[in-house]
Amino acid sequence: MKGRARAGGLRARLFALSLALGAGASAAGAQECRLALVLGFDVSASVDAREYRLMMGGTAAALRDPAVRAALFAGVPVALAAYVWAGRREQAVVADWVVIERDTQLAEFADRLEGYARPTGDPLGRWGGRTGVGAALAAGSRLLARAPVCDRQAIDLAGDGENNDGPDSLLLNGITVNALAVAGNMPLDEFGALDGVRLYYARRVIQGPGAFVIEAQGFGDFARAMRVKLLREVSPPLLGAL
């Protein structure tokens, strides 16, 4: 009797352990993430109020696009966060990390971006409006340091001009940096005479496996360019490419 009781107790403990392990595996599976993507938006002095609305509203529209939604929800989830940046001491988090697993989460993220008021001050005083590209990359890397655990990490930096405050770039190990270059605000950048901002981002900013630049022809073209870039970033890789 005692032997059967001990055997029964052992079976009960093993059964409880199997349940705990199964719950742990389910929890671990729920945290799976294929990409941690942080969106960084230039709000320096070269971006006026109208252009700011086009940039943030255009990003929200791109996130709501059916093709982008389908790519985001294809397979293992994507984690998103966003921030704005200007000079080397001027960055602010717009939307903190969320693993996009439901339509409501994506809608809330898009609404947050579209409704975010442009910052006018920080603890050090009024935002000066200069352009600190290297500092913006550092801010993105700090956000990624506390991102959910994902297979890949990427910064998506959008801007319309070259650095003029602090370091003009930053080398980031294990992080892909893509860019959305807005043409039109640099000298000779109109009408394709000289792709100054696109070339600057291509030479000084993008880095990591498969890094690329997408160009918007002015802020009125921002929504289209962001849609193209998001599709390229968040679409799951083809099996043949693995």
Distance in angstroms (rounded) separating the CA atoms of residues 109 and 125: 28
pLDDT-derived band at 52, boundaries 50, 70, 90: very high
pLDDT of 82-93, one tens digit each? 999 999 999 999
What's the whole-model pTM score? 0.81
20 three-class SS: helix
Does position 171 have pLDDT exceeding 60, yes or no?
A: yes
**pLDDT (0 to 100) of residue 28:** 37
- Does the structure show a pLDDT above 90 at 53? yes
pLDDT of residue 166: 86
Answer with the residue of higher pLDDT: 62 or 238.
Answer: 62
> For 194-242, what is each residue's pLDDT tens digit?
458 999 999 999 999 999 999 999 999 999 999 999 999 999 865 434 3
Query: CA 213 to CA 80: how far, in whole Å?
Result: 19
- pLDDT at position 196, please? 81
Domain spans in the chain, listed from the N-terminal domain onward: 1-30, 33-236
**CATH architecture of residue range(s) 33-236:** 3-Layer(aba) Sandwich (3.40)
Cβ distance 155 to 172 under 8 Å? Answer: yes
Tens-place pLDDT, residues 100-156: 999 999 999 999 999 999 987 655 556 778 999 999 999 999 999 999 999 999 999
Q: How confident is the model at residue 185 (pLDDT cuts 50, 70, 90)?
A: low
Helical (H) or strand (E) element with 80: strand 78-85
> Which range, of 68-72, 74-78, 140-144, 193-197, averages the lowest pLDDT?
193-197
Q: What is the percent of the chain where pLDDT is above 70?
A: 78
Q: Are strands 78-85 and 91-100 parallel, antiparallel or unpaired?
A: antiparallel
